[in-house]
Chain A
Amino acid sequence: MDLTTDYLGLQLRSPLVASASPLTGDPDLAVRLEEAGAGAIVLPSLFEEEILSEELELNRSLEQGTEQFAEALDYFPRLEGFSDAGDRYVMRLERIKRRASVPIIGSLNAATPGGWVRYAKRMEEAGADALELNLYHLAVDPARTAAAMEATDLELIAAVRDAIAIPLAVKLSPYYSAIANFAARAREHGADGLVLFNRFYQPDLDLETLGVVHRVELSRPWELRLPLRWIAILRPQLGPGVSLAATSGIHTGLDALKALMVGANVAMMTSALLRNGPEYLRTVEEELWAWMAEHEYQSVAELRGSASQAAVDDPAAFERANYVRTLHSWSTPSHLQPSART
């Protein structure tokens, strides 16, 4: 059975990719992911805001209380050679690169154009096989139009593209007004592939402290539906030259199969690995293998895109909201049915 797949021009031994998570940032765990069968590894994101806030925080700490009191003119040693979050990221990338043989994909998380773009170049120099640019912003400014926001994003893609020669994937949120259009333009501005979709972590309220808290909620399998639809739609639109990665809700080999069948080059996994550990990848691969064997598929290439919008017998199904049929498929629990109450 041939599980190899092409992603961003890279030949991967398997379509199962370990997506950005704490697991992928640790060299030991990264090696375990590779041993368990990962086709590639995406490092955790380097956040633009992390670099900035770290700079400001360090500076504040080093200046706080200084030059006020004759006995304590400062409170920290004169440290030399500060590395910032970007430097450390690059060092970690190098360490992982030294130990892993599968492609290693760096990840940059940015909202505005700026000096941090240099880290894209540095990731490339450190040996990253490709780069994933994570576009992250919330459209909270009522004065900014969707067009303006998209223009900024495209500017960012072009800036990173200019900085590096390795393949570039762009990870999108599902919240674009005209996602098909944006996907095409992202391609024009230099994206070799799209990763669909980014899950934003949503803040929560703590009712004890009445404070806003940030909690990581791992994905659930149903969340795969959204990328499934869009990959199915975009696959024929973008053509084979653009790689597509499915992410969010891939928890089993069967989930991965669906992603591949609608047209994804790779199926990216995070939550299931965080829940079950790196070795769970092996189980997923076994499920994938078993299904393919049972259904007599010889290779991933064979099944990839076999259920894209262009390939299914009911293409409109991906475009319709499917509202009525979906609702009808829901059966109300008996105790809630009017007859049950009376």
Chain B
Amino acid sequence: MDRRWECLDGNEAAARVAYALSEVISIYPITPASGMAEHADDWAAAKRPNLWGKVPDVIEMQSEGGAAGTMHGALQKGALATTFTASQGLLLMIPNMFKIAGELTPAVIHVAARTIATHALSIFGDHSDVMHARSAGWAMLAAGSVQEAHDFAAIAHAATLRSRVPFLHFFDGFRTSHEINKIATLSDDDLRALVDDDDVLAFRRRGLTPEAPVVRGTAQNPDVFFQAREAANPYHLAVPGIVSEVMDVFAERTGRRYGLVDYHGAPDAERVVVIMGSGSGAAEETVDALNAAGERVGVVRIRLFQPFPSAELIAALPSTVRAIAVLDRTKEPGAVGEPLYLDVVAALAEAMDAETPPFATTPRVIGGRYGLSSKEMTPSMIKPIFDELDAPRPKRHFTVGIHDDVTHLSLPMDRDFTHPRPDGEVQAVFIGLGSDGTVGANKASVKIIGEGTDLHVQGYFVYDSKKSGSVTVSHLRFGPQPIRSTYLIGNADFVACHQFGLLAKADVLGFARPGATFLLNSPYGPDEVWDHLPPAVQRELVEKRIDLWTIDAFGVAAEVGMGNRINTVMQPCFFQLSGVLPADEAISRIKAWVTATYAKRGESIVARNHAAIDRSLERLVHVPLGVPAAPEVPVSPTEHDPRAFVRDVTSALIAGRGDQLPVSALPVDGTFPTGTTQYEKRAIAQQIPVWDPAICIDCGKCAAVCPHATIRMKVFPTDAVADAPDGFKSKEFKSRDLLDHRLTIQVAPDDCTGCGVCVEVCPAKDRTEIRHKAINMEPVELHRDVERPRWDFFQSIAPLDRSLLPHDTVKGSQVLEPLFEFSGACGGCGETPYLKLVSQLFGDRMIVANATGCSSIYGANLPTTPWTVNAQGRGPAWANSLFEDNAEFGLGMRLALDAQADHARVLLQRLAPDLGPELVRDLLDAKQETEAEIAAQRRRVDHLRQLLRGIVGAREADAQHLLALSGDLVKQGIWIIGGDGWAYDIGFGGLDHVLGSGRNVNVLVLDTEVYSNTGGQASKATPRAAVAKFAAAGKGNGKKDLGAIARAYGNVYVAQVAMGANDAQTTKALLEAAAWPGPSLVIAYSTCIAHGIDMSQSMAHQKEAVKSGYWPLYRFQPSELEGGQPFKLDSKQATVPLADFMNSETRFAALQRTDPERADELAQLAQADADERWRYYAQLAEIERSVPHLPAIDGETADGAETPIEQRVEA
């Protein structure tokens, strides 16, 4: 049959079918499933119809719980409904899943299976999420490839309508969801052939209608619940048969035959592996290689996991089998074995107990875990499993892919095991930076080859954990046979390094096979490049006899106006050298692709890319290998850290050797040291800020806005720089309070990302040349070597005593040491300056509850964490629970802190005879409002600890408890931090409750107005008229006024801030929030890449947001005074039209380009929103409001402890 071949990733492959077969699609973003929802939203915005000619209603909900509830409702009304999710999202759907299955309602959830967070979050793939849903009563269908994700999506939708049992269709997160593969796509006619209209009509007829009313979802009692539950048995029992029938129809129609269970291997195999999902591709390759070598082995792929097809499994196993290894991609601590293992064991036991047992002797079954969190699963790992099955006493339970030196469960890898590559297959690996366009070009190459030739293709892309300067590795396979290698490439025929600097940081040639071709983007010409190569690279080139080619891609890109995007420069070179396509044909195909892709963005973009392509091959140069230089002695960045863990483990993670770490190296409970980003020294900036003290006005703005804490201000006594290295810059510090002090602004040259925000915000200009400021971006190669020793010396200067300067000014705050530094956030990030400021103001006494999102990722994504400590070892303590519960999580911390502090006070009084009444009274009565008072209390606590250690006898136990709790006698703050997705949407219920609790917590909302971390999906913080994912047609509703909801309580401190507009107001608001003894909420405008702005202008956009009335600044300070006016407007009425601000950001401007009429309409409404908000706020500023209280108590209880605010309010 004539098939349409297309190159898609797993998400799009599944979403196409789901979209075509649904009427209501309720969505919520979660990696790695977001892509499915994004496609659905995009298609709906483009008015693409489903199979019945109707555009599905795609609606984003506030959480996966909401998405499931909406789906449930739509199904009850008789509409075909679906959703997409993964991991925690699936867990939130489970309550509804039980209901949907219990009501025998056809539905499909498509899952890009992802690890459930345990000791750590992981966005990568395994089956822990879907395994957790298996008791909900849904059929579960496992796809193992992109083709299967497409096909099984269709089979699931057809089978659920036929069986009435809902289906969970899953495939491996990232490995399948993000792999691009060439697949035969299904036509509408194929889908029509598969989905029986009678089934659809029958489903519709069961929908709720007042014309034939019924009730569903009753409450049942012990008398009938059980029987009713059993009444559905026939439907579940029928599922395997129905799936088989649908698969038969599918095979007839498409030629692709699937079974509930499929066997691959020797018909007389003795050893068999049972596996589910993408790992089966590698397993089949292993089996083929072993059988070719004369062994008798096989692999069973489970396609329908639930209802478990016991009979089909037994039937699929060769009768000769004597040993079976069942592989689970999940872990269930405490269970006898993982779910698939247990199912196979039970199925075998039941079969052997039947009248005619299928095997002469019961095969031995062992169970292994593999591939948690997308850990690789390769033939080198699978081959040892077959070896183990041959052992006289194989490990009953084992792991593969890791080295377990603790419980010794792991099987060793067989690195020498090779399997023959399919004839004609070409493997290519490309190493680049995210910003240079490498991945985009490779995705294009995959499509160009896959859709333009008969070759099969596979593209898989690995990203690192940073959002700026991130390294990407593209793994591409091309060949005449379908590609089933579901793992990374290790022996590439072609390797390209798109960034010269990466040669020194990554083992680029480690990907290359001997004799491979190596393409290097080099700023050096063919005569000089060899001498610039790191000696290790020279050696490897020679040892592997690699064919070396270079091109100055940045030179070409600059000539044609492409900046640092070198994608279309490197791509023709790849085709030229790899020989996948004839060069001429490749060039014309690349150009055609460029035209198709960029034409809608404009002629100039197409022209520039075409020019890059044309010039590319002219600059490609072959370079003969030279003589390797002597090897360099590697220096570990962590060698001086006193912590062994950092020296041994963190350093290995930074070096990219995490895969090689044994189990014993890792913390057992997910606890990691802070202060480790300082060792990464990624040196990603092309330009860095250079300070000119002659012009500087000491304002501190550069340091305040730096997203990565890489430009810093220090004030120190003049004699502190007596031993400074040559050229260390400082200037007189102008202050009436602090005489004989100097000031230095210093950049950390290897940590700076070169975003330029500091320079843009610098207000000090040279009198004689206005463009020259007090800091200026300059090429890093001219300054790195001199700035390095200066930075080291700068770091050695002791921070100024925190009590010497007031903190309520920008200058005063920026002298404080930041305890949040060098995060992996995007260049120009609008969130991190707030976190840094909070860490400067309160870092030595704060505990952070951090909602999942950007801030939890750049805040704690291994290998390192930016939260750090001061010289005394104090710093923020940080933890992340979930996305949805962060406010509650932080409240729990507050309750614990209060309980422990209260307990400590009780113990203090109890131990007063030993400690002396004076110390006890001082500790209990200490005011801790200023830095000096806190320092004094810390000294008291130190003294207390000394005394406690000496207490023996009857009160020793109390003393030990007080010793453990003594730190809580010093004032600490709880900071609940997260983004707008958390605060406005998924975590809003909890946030509202916590604000309503009256307890003393500080909530900081980093409001980017979209779900930034998952790629910019709309939240309820997204403004009207903005284009965002899930609001591709432009958001029609206005932004939720979160502050207004919080203010309604009356006793919640609320501030709305924007650092770029008014940094002093931001500082003041944070200080007031911390000082307010009740709940406080600070909503911080945070610029983001998803706004479509030049991120170096991050702060200027914040200023415009305020100037245009888009983001009014205010502080709502609850007051107990009669006649108090708690609402203070800190910004002025708009001085420019909102349109000026909106036109400067692509999130708004894009709608002008896609739907000008709607854009105009929404822009008018947005202006009306802003006008009305101002009118309302201006009135609020006049309103008197007072927190009810008992004046006589005056905030003090009889025992001197501060009354919790909620009691005061209630009183």
A61, B437: Cβ atoms under 8 Å?
Answer: no
**B1156 at the A/B interface (Cβ < 8 Å)?**
yes
**A60 at the A/B interface (Cβ < 8 Å)?**
yes
**A51 at the A/B interface (Cβ < 8 Å)?**
yes
Q: Which residues of B contact A55 (CB under 8 A)?
A: 601-605
B467, A68: Cβ atoms under 8 Å?
Answer: yes
Chain B residue with Cβ nearest A115:
B603
Chain B residue with Cβ nearest A58:
B601
A36–B290 CA distance with the chains assembled, in angstroms: 90
Q: Which of A73-81, A105-113, A153-161, A326-334 forms part of the interface with chain B?
A: A73-81
A69, B1027: Cβ atoms under 8 Å?
Answer: no
B1089, A79: Cβ atoms under 8 Å?
Answer: no
**A294 at the A/B interface (Cβ < 8 Å)?**
no
B1154, A79: Cβ atoms under 8 Å?
Answer: yes
B472, A67: Cβ atoms under 8 Å?
Answer: yes
Band of interface residues on B: 35 or more
A71, B602: Cβ atoms under 8 Å?
Answer: no
Q: Which of B161-169, B306-314, B800-808, B1011-1019 forms part of the interface with chain A?
A: B1011-1019
With beta carbons under 8 angstroms apart, the residue of B46, B1031, B1089 that contacts A65 is B1089
**B673 at the A/B interface (Cβ < 8 Å)?**
no
**B600 at the A/B interface (Cβ < 8 Å)?**
yes
B1156, A83: Cβ atoms under 8 Å?
Answer: yes
Band of interface residues on A: 35 or more
A54–B604 CA distance with the chains assembled, in angstroms: 10
Q: Interface digits, A32-52 against B, CB 8 Å rule (1 contact, 0 not)?
A: 000000000000000000011
Say how far A50's CB is from chain B's closest CB, in angstroms: 11
Q: Which residues of B contact A81 (CB under 8 A)?
A: 46, 600, 1154
A175–B1028 CA distance with the chains assembled, in angstroms: 47
Q: Which residues of A contact B34 (CB under 8 A)?
A: 71
With beta carbons under 8 angstroms apart, the residue of A63, A76, A92, A115 that contacts B565 is A63
Chain B residue with Cβ nearest A70:
B463
Given the known inter-chain contacts A67-B461, A68-B434, A76-B1027, please indicate yes or no for A84 contacting B1015, CB distance below 8 A: no
A77, B440: Cβ atoms under 8 Å?
Answer: no
With beta carbons under 8 angstroms apart, the residue of B438, B1016, B1154 that contacts A72 is B1016
- Which residues of chain B (714-744) have a CB below 8 Å from chain A? none
A76, B602: Cβ atoms under 8 Å?
Answer: no
Say how far B952's CB is from chain A's closest CB, in angstroms: 55
A70–B463 CA distance with the chains assembled, in angstroms: 6
Chain A residue with Cβ nearest B1146:
A61
B602, A59: Cβ atoms under 8 Å?
Answer: yes
B1016, A76: Cβ atoms under 8 Å?
Answer: yes
Say how far B704's CB is from chain A's closest CB, in angstroms: 19
Say how far A208's CB is from chain B's closest CB, in angstroms: 10
Chain B residue with Cβ nearest A80:
B46
A77, B1029: Cβ atoms under 8 Å?
Answer: yes
Say how far B1163's CB is from chain A's closest CB, in angstroms: 13
B605, A73: Cβ atoms under 8 Å?
Answer: no
Q: Which residues of A contact B243 (CB under 8 A)?
A: none
Say how far A257's CB is from chain B's closest CB, in angstroms: 36
**A57 at the A/B interface (Cβ < 8 Å)?**
yes
**A210 at the A/B interface (Cβ < 8 Å)?**
yes
B interface, over-half SS: mixed
A293–B434 CA distance with the chains assembled, in angstroms: 74
A62–B1147 CA distance with the chains assembled, in angstroms: 10
- Which residues of chain B (1063-1100) have a CB below 8 Å from chain A? 1088-1090, 1092-1095
B437, A63: Cβ atoms under 8 Å?
Answer: yes
**B99 at the A/B interface (Cβ < 8 Å)?**
no
With beta carbons under 8 angstroms apart, the residue of A57, A74, A210 that contacts B1015 is A74
A52–B1152 CA distance with the chains assembled, in angstroms: 16
A65, B826: Cβ atoms under 8 Å?
Answer: yes
Chain A residue with Cβ nearest B1144:
A57
B1092, A76: Cβ atoms under 8 Å?
Answer: yes
A134–B598 CA distance with the chains assembled, in angstroms: 29
A210–B766 CA distance with the chains assembled, in angstroms: 10
Say how far B686's CB is from chain A's closest CB, in angstroms: 16
**B1153 at the A/B interface (Cβ < 8 Å)?**
yes
- Which residues of chain B (1004-1031) have a CB below 8 Å from chain A? 1012-1016, 1027-1031
A83–B1152 CA distance with the chains assembled, in angstroms: 8
**A201 at the A/B interface (Cβ < 8 Å)?**
no
**A82 at the A/B interface (Cβ < 8 Å)?**
yes
Given the known inter-chain contacts A61-B1146, A66-B440, please indicate yes or no for A210 contacting B765, CB distance below 8 A: yes
With beta carbons under 8 angstroms apart, the residue of B435, B605, B1153 that contacts A68 is B435
Q: Which of B37-45, B396-404, B527-535 forms part of the interface with chain A?
A: B37-45
A31–B1032 CA distance with the chains assembled, in angstroms: 33
Given the known inter-chain contacts A58-B1146, A66-B440, A76-B1016, please indicate yes or no for A71 contacting B604, CB distance below 8 A: no
A115–B606 CA distance with the chains assembled, in angstroms: 12
Given the known inter-chain contacts A66-B440, A67-B461, please indicate yes or no for A83 contacting B1029, CB distance below 8 A: no
Chain B residue with Cβ nearest A60:
B1094
Q: Interface digits, B252-295 against A, CB 8 Å rule (1 contact, 0 not)?
A: 00000000000000000000000000000000000000000000
- Which of B461, B604, B1093 has most A Cβ within 10 Å? B604
- Which residues of chain A (79-109) have a CB below 8 Å from chain B? 79-84, 88, 91-92
A67–B436 CA distance with the chains assembled, in angstroms: 9
**B1150 at the A/B interface (Cβ < 8 Å)?**
yes
Q: Which residues of B contact A115 (CB under 8 A)?
A: 603
Q: Which residues of A contact B1093 (CB under 8 A)?
A: 61
B434, A77: Cβ atoms under 8 Å?
Answer: no
Chain A residue with Cβ nearest B598:
A59
Say how far B570's CB is from chain A's closest CB, in angstroms: 14
Given the known inter-chain contacts A55-B603, A66-B440, A70-B31, please indicate yes or no for A77 contacting B1153, CB distance below 8 A: no
B440, A67: Cβ atoms under 8 Å?
Answer: yes
Chain A residue with Cβ nearest B38:
A77
**A11 at the A/B interface (Cβ < 8 Å)?**
no
Say how far A203's CB is from chain B's closest CB, in angstroms: 14
Q: Which residues of A contact B602 (CB under 8 A)?
A: 51-52, 54-56, 58-59, 84
B434, A69: Cβ atoms under 8 Å?
Answer: yes
**A181 at the A/B interface (Cβ < 8 Å)?**
no
- Which residues of chain B (408-451) have a CB below 8 Å from chain A? 433-435, 437-440
**A64 at the A/B interface (Cβ < 8 Å)?**
yes
Q: Interface digits, B1156-1169 against A, CB 8 Å rule (1 contact, 0 not)?
A: 10000000000000
A131–B382 CA distance with the chains assembled, in angstroms: 73
Q: Which residues of B contact A80 (CB under 8 A)?
A: 42, 46, 600, 1154
A69, B467: Cβ atoms under 8 Å?
Answer: yes
Given the known inter-chain contacts A55-B602, A64-B1095, A71-B857, please indicate yes or no for A83 contacting B1153, CB distance below 8 A: yes
A91, B1156: Cβ atoms under 8 Å?
Answer: yes
B1015, A75: Cβ atoms under 8 Å?
Answer: yes
**B395 at the A/B interface (Cβ < 8 Å)?**
no
Q: Which residues of B contact A57 (CB under 8 A)?
A: 1146, 1149
Chain B residue with Cβ nearest A211:
B770
**B174 at the A/B interface (Cβ < 8 Å)?**
yes
Q: Which residues of A contact B1152 (CB under 8 A)?
A: 88
A71–B1029 CA distance with the chains assembled, in angstroms: 14
B601, A62: Cβ atoms under 8 Å?
Answer: yes
Nearest 9 pairs of A and B residues by beta carbon = A68-B434, A55-B602, A61-B1092, A61-B1146, A72-B1015, A77-B1032, A67-B439, A65-B1089, A75-B1016
17 contacts between A and B (CB under 8 A): A55-B605, A58-B602, A59-B602, A60-B1094, A63-B565, A66-B434, A66-B440, A67-B434, A71-B32, A75-B1012, A75-B1015, A77-B1031, A78-B38, A78-B42, A79-B1153, A79-B1154, A82-B600
Interface contacts beyond A69-B434, A77-B42: sample of 13 additional A-B pairs, CB < 8 Å, sorted by A? A54-B1153, A58-B1153, A62-B1092, A67-B434, A67-B472, A70-B32, A72-B1015, A74-B1015, A76-B1092, A80-B600, A82-B1153, A82-B1154, A91-B1156
Residues in A lying within 8 Å of B, measured CB to CB:
51-52, 54-84, 88, 91-92, 115, 210
Residues in B lying within 8 Å of A, measured CB to CB:
31-32, 34, 38-39, 41-42, 45-46, 123, 174, 178, 433-435, 437-440, 461, 463, 465-468, 470, 472, 565, 598, 600-605, 765, 770, 826, 857, 1012-1016, 1027-1032, 1088-1090, 1092-1095, 1146-1147, 1149-1150, 1152-1154, 1156
